[in-house]
Homo-oligomer: A and B are copies of this chain.
Amino acid sequence: MSSSTTNSRFDPTFTDQVVNAMGPKTPERARVILGSLIRHIHDFAREVELTPAEWMTGVEFINSIGAISTPIRNEGHRICDVIGLESLVDEIANKIVTEQGLSPTSNVILGPFWSPNAPFRALGDSIIQDPLPNGRVTYMHGRLTDMETGKPIAGAVLDIWQASANAKYDFQDPEQSENNLRGKFRSNANGEFYWYCYHPTAYSLPTDGPAGVLLNLMDRSPMRPAHIHLMITHPEYATVINQIYPSTDPHLEIDSVFAVKDDLVVDFKPKTDDPKAELDLEYNVRMAQKKHHPHPNSEPPKSSFERSMGANKL
């Protein structure tokens, strides 16, 4: 594992002294996590010979994260996204590869905008409650199959959410009704699902806070490629939480939160046989039985919205 003596000019016992200060009542998992974290932070400081002024800049940056956060603005979550940490934690938690090399459709990060309140809708319904003139209505449809047997998966719950054509989610925008562009659907006996939604719209992370400061310092774009969020659950299958991206989006290579994977890039096609939609999107999902999940009983992450429900109802 990591070395505590990156630079021998410095007291080689100091990091051990800090880690070993943990008392006997420290829970074992906390000891492992905090021990590793303290070692890495110390190694980082020695490696770059962090100066007092640089350290204090970091202190003030950390303080600024919590200062701007609210029950519906989780800047700590956003900073983690910008440094790829949520994406990495998602991979660690959810990556599935069987001994035969089979993998289900990729997972990516939940993000901060999932809501537990999305209503069930009937297959074929639209999630567009508040139409916008520039919204491009899309007929989205596909099939859930078992990645090993190819058999259809019936009765799965598909929870979809997306920003509107103005690039805002319902709870960022007082003009949208609650659960606009959110909905839960059940796959039918053939594993099929279908509904109306919008072609997604690219948007920028909020840049008026620490994430903006950090992205600017790193000379990076705050843009996310346009995407539709999906959470697909079934009692016998590992949950799929992901996002799908139009193949034409110019931000696929510079996603500010590192959540694009090749199998999640999809093609929207013109639709001519349906007065209700101008675009067609076929998207099929391969799922893995729960036994293949590295942590089959782990709970999905909670969104800040969900966590704040008790505290601050919108």
**1/0 contact trace for A191-223 toward B, CB 8 Å?**
000000000000000000000000001111000
Give the distance to chain B from A297, nearest Cβ to Cβ, in Å: 12
Bound CA–CA A86/B32 (angstroms): 22
A75 at the interface (CB under 8 A from B): yes
Let me know if B258 and A301 touch, CB within 8 A.
no
Closest residue of chain B to A17, judged by CB?
B258
Contacts of A295 in B (CB 8 A): 51
Could you tell me how many residues of chain A have their Cβ less than 8 Å away from some Cβ of chain B? 83
Give the distance in Å from the alpha carbon of A26 to the alpha carbon of B53 in the complex. 18
Q: Which residue of the partner chain, among B2, B30, B56, B91, contacts A217 with CB atoms under 8 Å?
A: B30
Whether B85 pairs with A74 at a CB distance below 8 angstroms is: no
Contact A49 B92 (CB under 8 A): yes
Question: A63 and B83: CB pair below 8 A?
Answer: no
Chain A residues touching B, majority SS? helix
Q: Is the CB of A56 within 8 A of B301?
A: yes
Task: With CB as the reference atom, state the residue of chain B lying closest to A109.
Answer: B52
Which B residues lie within 8 Å of A63 (CB)? 65-66, 69, 74-76
Closest to A84 in B: B18
Q: How many copies does the complex hold?
A: 2
Which stretch (A37-45, A139-147, A158-166, A265-273) binds chain B? A37-45
User: In the bound complex, how far is the Cα of B41 from the Cα of A38, in angstroms?
Assistant: 10
Q: Which of A7-15, A122-130, A226-234, A242-250 is found at the contact surface with chain B? A: A7-15
A22 near B62: Cβ-Cβ < 8 Å: no
Identify which of B15, B52, B69 contacts A300 (C-beta below 8 A): B52
**Which B residues touch A44, using CB under 8 A?**
36-37, 40
Nearest-CB distance from A4 to chain B (Å)?
Answer: 11
* Interchain nearest-CB distance for A101 vs B (Å): 13
Partner-B contacts on A (CB < 8 A): 1-2, 6, 9-11, 14-15, 17-18, 21-27, 29-30, 32-34, 36-38, 40-56, 59-60, 62-69, 74-77, 79-80, 83-93, 95, 217-220, 254, 258, 295, 298-302, 307
Q: Besides A2-B43, A37-B44, 14 other CB < 8 A contacts?
A: A1-B47, A10-B91, A18-B258, A33-B54, A40-B47, A42-B85, A50-B89, A52-B93, A52-B300, A62-B76, A63-B76, A65-B65, A65-B66, A67-B69
6 CB contacts below 8 A, A to B, read A2-B43, A25-B219, A26-B218, A33-B48, A38-B84, A66-B68
